[in-house]
Structure 1
């Protein structure tokens, strides 16, 4: 029995299993109408009984983005029912006079106010009786809502009123999300928005994960990847699905960190190009974390890996705008009908362009397990070219170029715009489509090395096998440096740590495998933003230094406020080892050579050697133009680039950038 990693994407579902003899892999089209069907079919096709299944999913993400969640009610204090709709006055498009906010997930008719009030000091100013809670629950149930988000003022200091409401709502038959459970922090709007997002997707995830758990082979336990890069039990993910919003992409970044460190690459930009979108992240020896993102117009305030996403993937559709310019994405052909070369749809995609240009092999797509229909493409690209005033080849290369431009911009957001030079990093490419574009993208950014790991098309699934069990806990305390010394500050963690240890024990993490990481959100008195600081021997001094590094000044005489305590609890898991080859051979064996085929490069036909990655050995050197085929992906080594297989089986490509 083995541990199995599963990643469900918009186009494909990936499954990977590590055994002593190596990896078993399955890649099959996703089933958007019921994602569980593809997962269960893939597990059956794997042919082994899993000891446990670790799963990354886009179900919660898609429910939010496509507005296909539950009918959700919002319950707040009387007079504060519309907090969730009012939000903040920030405008993402400041100078666009026609800009409009996205519609609120909770319509006005489903926002309810209840009696009761807690002060900013946690004192009850007005009580909420059981009868009032019951009456409110009946009103919400009669509204037609099936899920309820409860967010009362300062409930993170005194949650009794929320719990009373939660019990009444649950007895009335609703799914319930309490802000004091989801996000025990101040800033009411962000707390309310995160709780609403949780309530909106909870019934969807409950049904999805419930079906998966009920049908796991041999009753294997199911864990779910969180946006933070850590695993949680499926039961916990069903209660707090908002923490799984970036579940799938997080798995790839976790795997990239592990593979990169083993191969000697500490500074990495990850490039995950799948069928629907491209996700990029930057890491300098550790995961880059963010505390908030926006999904479907709502701020979601949970710890997550800092990942930037653009709607450019292998299945992104090509079109012309009103002025005749070529566009690619964000619309996607998805798994059904898929790219035109899949034989069903008529829409041209990036995958179609790569196949038309000779950079994909119809005989070797998914290891030969999925038929492609290249004969459909010439007429379609001819039509696209005529509409744009281009030849068919120019249209196909244009589709690739436009997609790469979008991905280049995404990488510049996480690197150049944050003070990092991409030339200082290696580009680690994965995803089913990443290897076809990685070198061209690296050249646009001035990156000298591209790393393509083994099984790139299943890399996010692989990341599940390298993740620890993680839970993040927080508590707002508002402790000022003029009243709270370092020893008192340390003591404030005590009650929170007790809660952490109890929760991790419930996850089955033994005390010997538990690691607690303390953090403080700190600011100068009067500021409206905080800086995260690790809890060190003198956190106040650390804050002054960090503030100077971020903002260019510090004020050691000013009072410092510790706003929120945070603890990240990690249960260390057993991970697949990295074994480095002891023997290196420069010459590629004949068994790895699949023959030469033509491809198009800058509108010209050139010959390129095809290689079978399964038969490449450590030390093998490949000179471009060349293509390396494997079950889950194809890697393109363009002219003037050179690749070598390192001791861990990664393809390391010198891009030719000076």
Structure 2
């Protein structure tokens, strides 16, 4: 058993491992070790007995995300064009809370004393107005050396049009021993603030990522090739991840969306909403044949312009803590119990009521079946924690638990509306793909509220993000700002695309991707002249067709368009995709009249029509006993190693040919 392909996703509470062997998935979960995520990975591989046999390990990591959210990056300096060092602090005029008089901007990751200037100037076409002054550069480098910074971000005015000055500054900074991130390499695109912010983020987390990956590679040994998931849903080599660390900021959630696409397409679903509930957060994304992408993301309040899957995250997960605000209203999250101490039911010292504890009190989690029986839940501790909330509400523990679930479900519902209704899409046209450790626990109630007709629970829902790393393609993104009228752009667009394609093919070839497995995808960022935002449009024939597609897309997205209005080509984009061979999910014909015997019966609580507590005697089934064709009627509980699926009253489920669970609300219920 050698040269195994293994996927790993490090979450806030659990580290998930998926092994692909002989067409079957083997899964394992261990508690995460946030102080050093590699410890949990190595522990899990050891427990599976495969540490010495891993040929390729694809890793979805939270190291970059946590470093930004917790402000634990390295001391970072910024070199800017003279007169522009405060771009990072001035930012934009947008206000996250428009009517709040006490709104606070996030503090820049680089304080003002570590932002230095060099004398140079380019115009908007990249032509030199003021040559780079070497004396000012030497002084800037010396200032940063005295300040003790470890990394340097370089963002000079209009360097996306001509990188020569930035390349010289980068050379000098590297000679001085700094970790260097230059905007002309990270993001050669206009919009000064966002380009600078993205470059600073890369520098801020780069050394941490580099050290973490180097340590993990040493532990794994030379026999194992390490690949890292990016925010765009593709993987890159660990060497590239060290250099362009900002590409990994949404690594784990992106892998979950890739896994959701894979599972849904196996069951014949193209339009889906991915619904991933972990220990600390819920991630949702719209999938319309393929995952929706954005270049307007933020992490911890800091803009990042690199392409990433359009994922909306809320602080609502299994470990989210229930609390009361100053007005006495019940809230849930975003604070989480995490892996340590975890929910009270884990028995590790946690005393505050969490979503997991509420599900235990309601009978929806089976204590002795948690993690396949390898970790038992403490029902008494969960009840004591929820009872504190119940006392404040003057209610029973069961009523309080239902209240906690209602509140957290409302937070999740709002997240789904952001990526569907607010983007002009009707949730009723989609299926909900529920995964993560807690996704299948809440999916049916969310679907009923949003009138989503079907819920799909994949074969390995609790580790779908780890599975997503296994099926992800190698993916490289390239962009070049051109800023030309569409009617004059054909020659420029073709020239830039040719150059970017050559670069993409070279980069993928360096990662041992065979030529016949390389796919090139072309896009244009278009806008009406005078607009301050643009839409990404596939470039399949010529600019004229892309402009027609832009008018249609503008009408879909914003409810209006004007085919007589002039259109501008802002950016030229290209994706170089190294297509990986996808594992075949085993297909079995449905067994006529297939039935399953319940493992047990238990009391499970749901809300009645008026919101009252209603207790049902519900059967508990083992997921492994459900053959294709098996149909169940709710209420029922379906347990498996990596998650628990709750089938409420008025719902039914059946198992399809690839063993995915399809849940539907019964008409009239």
State the TM bucket, normalised to the shorter chain: over 0.9
Aligned partner of 1:587 in structure 2 is 594
Q: The residue matched to 2:654 in structure 1 has which SS?
A: strand
Q: CA contact under 8 A between 2:118 and 2:133: conserved in structure 1?
A: no
How far does residue 52 in structure 1 lie from its aligned partner after superposition?
0.2
Q: The residue matched to 1:437 in structure 2 has which SS?
A: helix
Q: The residue matched to 2:356 in structure 1 has which SS?
A: helix
Q: The residue matched to 2:185 in structure 1 has which SS?
A: helix
For residues 77 and 69 of structure 1, the distance between their equivalents in structure 2, rounded to whole angstroms, comes to 24
Q: Using a 3 Å threshold, how does the CA distance of structure 1 residues 556 and 272 change in structure 2: closer, same or farther?
A: closer
Pairing 1:354–2:359 present: yes
How far does residue 465 in structure 1 lie from its aligned partner after superposition?
1.4
Aligned partner of 1:561 in structure 2 is 568
2:429 alignment partner, one of 417, 424, 427 = 424
Aligned partner of 2:374 in structure 1 is 369
1:23 alignment partner, one of 22, 25, 35 = 25
Aligned partner of 1:574 in structure 2 is 581
For residues 30 and 82 of structure 1, the distance between their equivalents in structure 2, rounded to whole angstroms, comes to 39
Structure 1 runs (4+) greater than 3 angstroms displaced: 129-132, 481-484, 551-560
For residues 568 and 522 of structure 1, the distance between their equivalents in structure 2, rounded to whole angstroms, comes to 17
For residues 214 and 568 of structure 2, the distance between their equivalents in structure 1, rounded to whole angstroms, comes to 43
Q: CA contact under 8 A between 2:57 and 2:224: conserved in structure 1?
A: yes
> What is the TM-score of this pair, normalised by structure 2?
0.95
Aligned partner of 1:633 in structure 2 is 643
Q: CA contact under 8 A between 2:638 and 2:644: conserved in structure 1?
A: yes
Q: The residue matched to 2:46 in structure 1 has which SS?
A: helix
Mark the runs of 5 or more structure 2 residues left unpaired by the alignment. 608-612
Aligned partner of 2:663 in structure 1 is 653
1:496 alignment partner, one of 497, 500, 514 = 500
For residues 416 and 116 of structure 1, the distance between their equivalents in structure 2, rounded to whole angstroms, comes to 47
Pairing 1:382–2:387 present: yes
Moved more, 125-134 or 513-522: 125-134
Mark the runs of 5 or more structure 1 residues left unpaired by the alignment. none
1:223 alignment partner, one of 224, 227, 237 = 227
Q: Using a 3 Å threshold, how does the CA distance of structure 1 residues 96 and 657 change in structure 2: closer, same or farther?
A: farther
Moved more, 261-270 or 487-496: 487-496
How far does residue 545 in structure 1 lie from its aligned partner after superposition?
4.3
Q: CA contact under 8 A between 2:554 and 2:561: conserved in structure 1?
A: no
Moved more, 104-113 or 122-131: 122-131
Aligned partner of 1:616 in structure 2 is 626
Pairing 1:238–2:242 present: yes
Q: CA contact under 8 A between 1:545 and 1:554: conserved in structure 2?
A: no
2:138 alignment partner, one of 134, 140, 158 = 134
For residues 402 and 655 of structure 1, the distance between their equivalents in structure 2, rounded to whole angstroms, comes to 22
Pairing 1:408–2:413 present: yes
How far does residue 255 in structure 1 lie from its aligned partner after superposition?
1.3
Aligned partner of 2:61 in structure 1 is 57
Pairing 1:283–2:287 present: yes
Q: CA contact under 8 A between 2:273 and 2:286: conserved in structure 1?
A: yes
Q: Using a 3 Å threshold, how does the CA distance of structure 1 residues 549 and 181 change in structure 2: closer, same or farther?
A: closer
How far does residue 217 in structure 1 lie from its aligned partner after superposition?
5.2
> What is the TM-score of this pair, normalised by structure 1?
0.97
Aligned partner of 1:41 in structure 2 is 43
How many residues align? The count is 655
Q: CA RMSD in A?
A: 1.7
Q: Using a 3 Å threshold, how does the CA distance of structure 1 residues 607 and 481 change in structure 2: closer, same or farther?
A: closer
Q: Using a 3 Å threshold, how does the CA distance of structure 1 residues 549 and 156 change in structure 2: closer, same or farther?
A: closer
How far does residue 102 in structure 1 lie from its aligned partner after superposition?
1.2
How far does residue 365 in structure 1 lie from its aligned partner after superposition?
0.9
Aligned partner of 1:315 in structure 2 is 319
How far does residue 433 in structure 1 lie from its aligned partner after superposition?
0.5
1:37-436 map, 5 Å: 37-48=39-50, 49-216=53-220, 219-343=223-347, 344-436=349-441
For residues 11 and 463 of structure 1, the distance between their equivalents in structure 2, rounded to whole angstroms, comes to 18
1:460 alignment partner, one of 446, 461, 465 = 465
Residue deviations 1:313-336, cap 9 Å, x none?
Answer: 000001111222111000000000
Q: CA contact under 8 A between 1:427 and 1:451: conserved in structure 2?
A: yes
1:529-540 map, 5 Å: 529-540=533-544
